């Protein structure tokens, strides 16, 4: 079952596809750091580091089982108040996705984007996608899924459209009846301090949760324990924020560098609640997401755990680029559910 990942990023969807049993042969990603991360973790895949507009896969790969990926989402995100409009150049990249599907004619495709994609311009883009794929012979269905409903310790909503040219009606996988919490996700990872940059540390000597155990390395070592170094005044702010609270808990005199703190986004300076799934791990450095028990930001490994990446997954690039790759990724475990359902339905309809 050959898979091709376009707009691959670091490879979260590919990791989920591989977990489900798909052989990911190709990735296309324009960002050099994300492409290098993909190469590091998928050494047998062919990685094109280039603009998708410059690449044609026509006649290069036969009998492709599934094409998947998500075009850049900034133009569709409801959190983007500056360039969420038709003039954003990235908004037209979904047409390149359609082109690749037309060229390769895979049995299945999975199109992923932010939740706001569904409502952008009152659903015009979604309707256009349906029309394009229907004209190519694909039966499609779409839905917004919440990652925490599928074993990911994070309340992250993503839009998915799944289609096939086998006339199979895709039904999205059933939700789990339990939630994985932040505590279950990261409590076995090593304690760290502000600004730590440690490649290897042993796990804590405690029994890991089933979730943590499923992601741990065989060597008992946590990799890439990197924490952004915040200024002392930022750490002082952290000390006033209890679990589940945000910047509103910071004394006013410590927020004097904000011209109008009333305009602060509710997502900044939020200490994670260990008893619940995490808030969205997006730009977690910029948003100043705080460790549930320690007065510091999240480490690379902690953020990756909350995104459901296995602990032996290595990110390449500077710390800022690594943090961006993690924040942009599709949680692998969520992707695994989607691909596993595709395989199940394909086998049932053979």
320 & 336 share domain: no
Question: Given this model, what pLDDT does residue 147 score?
Answer: 97
Buried b (16+ CB within 10 A) or exposed e, 182-196: bbbbbbbbbebebeb
Buried b (16+ CB within 10 A) or exposed e, 10-49: bbbbbbbbbbbebebbbbbbbbebbbbbbbebbeebebbb
Question: Given this model, what pLDDT does residue 3 score?
Answer: 97
- Residue 350 covered by a domain: no
Tally of domains in the chain: 2
165 & 189 share domain: no
7 & 139 share domain: yes
163 & 30 share domain: yes
196 & 151 share domain: no
- Contacting residues for 94 by C-beta, under 8 A, at least 6 apart: 71, 111, 113, 125, 129
257 & 146 share domain: no
Residues 294, 297, 301, CA angle at the centre, nearest 5°? 95
**Which residue, 150, 203, 76, is CA-closest to 338?**
150
- Residue 223 covered by a domain: yes
- Strands 46-48 and 23-28, by their bridges, are parallel
| Sole residue written with tokens 């990235």 | 90
104 & 158 share domain: yes
207 & 59 share domain: no
Question: Given this model, what pLDDT does residue 57 score?
Answer: 87
19 & 166 share domain: yes
**Which residue, 286, 331, 273, is CA-closest to 304?**
331
Check residue 178 and report its DSSP letter: S
43 & 131 share domain: yes
| Sole residue written with tokens 């930022």 | 234
d(CA 275, CA 16): 26
- Strands 66-69 and 2-6, by their bridges, are parallel
The low-confidence residues of the chain, meaning pLDDT below 50, are: 75-85, 88-89
Question: Given this model, what pLDDT does residue 16 score?
Answer: 97
Instruction: Tell me the pLDDT tens digit for each residue of 194-216.
Output: 999 999 999 999 999 999 999 99
For residue 49, the domain's CATH number is 3.40.50.150
What is the token pair recorded at 27? Answer: 């990735």
Question: Is residue 73 annotated as a catalytic residue, yes or no?
Answer: yes
- Residue 21 covered by a domain: yes
Instruction: Tell me the pLDDT tens digit for each residue of 36-82.
Output: 999 999 999 999 999 999 998 887 888 999 999 998 855 444 444 44
Question: Given this model, what pLDDT does residue 262 score?
Answer: 59
Question: Given this model, what pLDDT does residue 77 score?
Answer: 43
β-bridge partners, 144: 159
Range of the domain at 239: 182-328
d(CA 263, CA 255): 12
Catalytic residue among 73, 140, 166, 197: 73
């Amino acid at each position: 079952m050959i898979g091709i990942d376009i707009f691959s990023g670091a490879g979260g969807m590919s990791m989920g596809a591989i977990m489900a049993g798909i052989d990911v042969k190709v990735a296309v990603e324009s960002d050099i750091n994300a492409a290098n991360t993909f190469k590091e973790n998928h050494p047998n895949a062919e990685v094109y580091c280039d603009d998708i507009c410059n690449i044609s896969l026509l006649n290069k790969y036969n009998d492709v089982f599934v094409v998947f990926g998500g075009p850049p989402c900034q133009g569709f995100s409801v959190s983007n108040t500056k360039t969420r409009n038709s003039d954003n150049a990235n908004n037209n990249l979904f047409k390149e996705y359609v082109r690749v599907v037309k060229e390769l004619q895979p049995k299945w495709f999975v199109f992923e984007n932010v939740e706001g994609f569904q409502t952008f311009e009152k659903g015009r883009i979604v309707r256009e996608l349906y029309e394009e794929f229907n004209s190519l012979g694909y039966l499609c269905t779409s839905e917004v899924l919440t990652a925490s409903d599928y074993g990911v310790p994070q309340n992250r909503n993503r839009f998915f459209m799944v289609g096939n040219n086998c006339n199979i009606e895709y039904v999205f996988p059933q939700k789990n009846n339990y939630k994985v919490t932040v505590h279950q996700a990261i409590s076995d990872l090593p304690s760290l301090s502000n600004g730590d940059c440690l490649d290897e540390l042993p796990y804590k000597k405690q029994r890991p949760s089933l979730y943590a155990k499923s992601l741990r390395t065989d060597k008992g070592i946590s990799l890439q324990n990197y924490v952004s170094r915040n200024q002392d005044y930022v750490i002082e702010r952290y000390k006033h924020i209890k679990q589940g609270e945000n910047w509103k808990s910071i004394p006013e005199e410590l927020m004097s560098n904000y011209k109008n703190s009333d305009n602060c986004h509710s997502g900044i300076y939020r200490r994670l609640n260990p008893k619940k799934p995490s808030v969205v791990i997006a730009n977690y450095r910029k948003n100043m997401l705080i460790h549930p028990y320690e007065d510091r930001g999240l480490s690379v490994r902690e953020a990756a755990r909350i995104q459901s990446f296995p602990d032996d997954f290595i990110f390449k690039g500077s710390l800022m680029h690594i943090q961006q790759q993690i924040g942009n990724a599709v949680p692998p475990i969520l992707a695994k559910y989607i691909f596993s359902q595709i395989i199940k339905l394909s086998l049932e309809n053979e």
